[in-house]
């Protein structure tokens, strides 16, 4: 079993959204970072609160984790993957995101 975390680029995420695909994006940044803008389709679950909010994350679908640069979202991916979730890390994070923000 590979422990590699799957990755996806911000451009690929944008493409999925543009194609009307149902995508689960989870933004794990802190509140003040999210206030500066987050992907409109994303759900905000701070990294530190993931353990107690895992019931909000559907195990039957794949989730794309997002943070500022891709490091915290990678930690979130590792944690969720250990608990049997399908996850991908958006590499480059919001620093590389060129799509809409709310």
pLDDT averaged per 10 residues in sequence order, the chain, 102 residues? 85 96 96 97 98 96 97 98 97 96 95
State the pLDDT at residue 79: 97
Report the C-alpha gap between 26 and 36 in whole angstroms. 16
Contacts for 26 with CB less than 8 Å, ≥ 6 apart: 42, 43, 44, 45, 57, 63, 64, 65, 66, 76
Report the C-alpha gap between 86 and 13 in whole angstroms. 16
Report the C-alpha gap between 86 and 77 in whole angstroms. 9
The total domain count for the chain is 1
CATH code for the domain of 42: 3.40.250.10
State the pLDDT at residue 72: 98
State the pLDDT at residue 18: 96
Is residue 1 situated within a structural domain? no
Is residue 101 situated within a structural domain? no
Catalytic residues: 67
State the pLDDT at residue 2: 57
Tell me the two tokens of residue 102: 């709310």
Is residue 80 situated within a structural domain? yes
Is residue 16 situated within a structural domain? yes
Domain span at residue 85 reads 6-96
């Amino acid at each position: 079993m590979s422990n590699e975390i799957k990755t996806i680029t911000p451009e690929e995420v944008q493409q999925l959204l543009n194609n009307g695909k149902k995508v689960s994006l989870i933004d794990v940044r802190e509140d003040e970072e999210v206030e500066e803008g987050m992907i409109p389709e994303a759900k905000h679950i701070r990294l530190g609160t993931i353990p107690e909010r895992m019931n909000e994350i559907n195990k039957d679908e794949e989730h794309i984790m997002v943070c500022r640069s891709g490091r915290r979202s990678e930690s979130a991916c590792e944690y969720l993957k250990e608990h049997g979730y399908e996850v991908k890390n958006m590499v480059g994070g919001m620093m590389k995101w060129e799509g809409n923000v709310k």
